Amino acid sequence: MDSPSRFILENRAWAEEMDQLQPRFFEQLAGGQQPDVFWIGCADSRVPAERITNAAPGELFVHRSIANLVLHDDNSVMSALQYAVEQLKVHHLIVCGHDGCGGVRAALMPEDGAANDEGDALAQRIRPLRALYRQHQYEVHGSDARDEEGLARWVDRLVTLNVASQVRSLADTATVRAAWRRGHGLRLHGWVYGLRNGRLREVLTLDARTSNLANAA
């Protein structure tokens, strides 16, 4: 049995189980969503937001993409952010990266000809990561040799730096700054998920008081 066929069968089994455990579960879900969290995570299949937080359906409004980047010219994440803040009225924005991120690792690799090809979507996607790496190159390298173990530590350091950078990028969006000016108590969180132990760790938290961008412009 192929994966899509198995997923259909698993879905039916899950729906029947939920009907038995919580008879009004789907009726309540159909009535609308009221999540308190907008989650910006990596598209990596090993980091499902609801599973690693044990969140129920309706608790997280989720946007996932390669390397959990918050790019101001990315209409997908910007429109989701606007909807989450202005329509759903969430109070928390979480950027969650993860150790061993493939997108971050790719940004550490030497560029080839494809990286300069405007038609290469992956190369274009990780350009901001390459720039972040160049900015913090010595911090990323530390004292590690460029062997497999050392490279893994480089990746994890850049993952952490990237999460912090994306939280600050969130703080500088028009949507967040407008919300703060309105008095909306948004809090921005940067987390990293450890693939080796299943634990989340906090990188930083910003709000209207602690962000020096909150009152800009």
CA distances from 93 to 31, 70, 84, 199 (A): 23, 12, 9, 19
Contact 55, 39 (CB under 8 A): no
User: Does 96 participate in catalysis according to the annotation?
Assistant: no
Contact 155, 108 (CB under 8 A): yes
Which helix (DSSP H) or strand (DSSP E) does residue 150 occupy?
helix 148-171
The residue from 42, 96, 157, 177 that is catalytic is: 42
Q: Using alpha carbons only, what angle is made at residue 79 by residues 169 and 72, rounded to the nearest 5 degrees? A: 30
The residue from 63, 96, 99, 101 that is catalytic is: 101
User: Does 73 participate in catalysis according to the annotation?
Assistant: no
The residue from 44, 99, 156, 157 that is catalytic is: 44
Residue with tokens 């500088």: 172
The residue from 46, 51, 72, 182 that is catalytic is: 46
Q: Can you list the positions of beta strands (E) in 25-183? A: 37-42, 60-65, 92-98
The residue from 63, 96, 98, 156 that is catalytic is: 98
Q: Residue 35 is which amino acid?
A: P
User: Does 46 participate in catalysis according to the annotation?
Assistant: yes
The three-class DSSP label of residue 153 is: helix
Computed on alpha carbons and rounded to an integer, the radius of gyration of the chain in Å comes to 19
**Which residues have a catalytic role annotated?**
42, 44, 46, 98, 101
